[in-house]
Copies of this chain bind each other. A is one copy, B any other.
């Protein structure tokens, strides 16, 4: 039995996230499993590195699947390229050890949230960038981000209902950069809860706007419960950039 590891790029705009759901719901996993199953004549199950929210993109999503197929990796890549829709591309594939598991073996993941803070939106990249021309204090956002780095219970930063599953995660770093009005928030952590990066981003944006104080971020984190009108940044600005194993 072969175990194949894939790097996948997708534009998440029209998908209800990575993870397969009911038959009539469009997901990236479902699209890929359908093509792989047709290609191999097997009922292929793809293991992804994690869920991504509806509308979120990925540059280097990692997944693996098992097959008895004798096709070469190049032949498989070409087949996928031909039969997958234009908004999903399997960029690389390789045979890997039989014990490799795209989800269990994740050490950390890097997400990037992109904000256009110029006066007007750009005609380019509209689908991948959140635009706001609110004045943002980047120094305050950077300062507030430090509160979240480290190992914490992130119950306040997820849409998960309380006590559904463990909510302690470690954020290794949050880097905030700015270039010609384009702000990128890079978040690296060992795992992310439902909507976690978007809620972190929404909170940091509120800090940048002066609506939330840095000390309040500490309070929100300590409270371990979702705020009533917790801000959640739009999905389209978010992209899973890399996965570390």
Q: Which of A95-103, A116-124, A221-229 contacts B (4 or more CB under 8 A)?
A: A116-124
- A114-155, CB < 8 A from B: 118-126, 128
Asked if A9 and B126 make an inter-chain contact with CB atoms under 8 angstroms apart, the answer reads no
Asked if B120 and A124 make an inter-chain contact with CB atoms under 8 angstroms apart, the answer reads no
Which residue from chain B places its CB closest to the CB of A8 in the assembled complex? B123
Task: Give the contacting residue for A124; candidates B118, B119, B128; CB below 8 A.
Answer: B128
- A123 CB, nearest partner CB in chain B, Å: 4
Asked if B81 and A124 make an inter-chain contact with CB atoms under 8 angstroms apart, the answer reads no
Task: Give the contacting residue for A9; candidates B9, B11, B90, B123; CB below 8 A.
Answer: B123
With the chains together, A123 CA to B77 CA distance in Å?
15
Asked if B120 and A81 make an inter-chain contact with CB atoms under 8 angstroms apart, the answer reads yes
Interface core residue of A81, A87, A119 (most chain B CB under 10 Å): A119
Asked if B86 and A126 make an inter-chain contact with CB atoms under 8 angstroms apart, the answer reads yes
By a CB distance below 8 angstroms, the chain B residues around A9 are 122-124
With the chains together, A90 CA to B89 CA distance in Å?
34
By a CB distance below 8 angstroms, the chain B residues around A86 are 123, 126
By a CB distance below 8 angstroms, the chain B residues around A123 are 9-11, 86-89
With the chains together, A205 CA to B130 CA distance in Å?
35
By a CB distance below 8 angstroms, the chain B residues around A124 are 9, 11, 57, 59, 125, 128
Task: Fill in one digit per residue for A192-219: 1 if any B CB lies within 8 Å of its CB, else 0.
Answer: 0000000000000000000000000000
With the chains together, A112 CA to B70 CA distance in Å?
43
- A125 CB, nearest partner CB in chain B, Å: 8
- A90 CB, nearest partner CB in chain B, Å: 8
- A46 CB, nearest partner CB in chain B, Å: 18
Asked if B120 and A89 make an inter-chain contact with CB atoms under 8 angstroms apart, the answer reads yes
Interface residues in chain A, defined as those with a beta carbon under 8 Å from any beta carbon in chain B? 9-11, 57, 59, 77, 81, 86-91, 118-126, 128
Shortest Cβ-Cβ A-B pairs, 3 listed: A11-B123, A87-B123, A89-B120
CB pairs A–B below 8 angstroms (23 shown): A9-B122, A9-B123, A9-B124, A10-B123, A11-B123, A11-B124, A59-B124, A77-B119, A77-B120, A81-B120, A86-B123, A86-B126, A87-B123, A89-B120, A89-B121, A89-B122, A89-B123, A90-B120, A91-B118, A91-B119, A124-B125, A124-B128, A125-B125
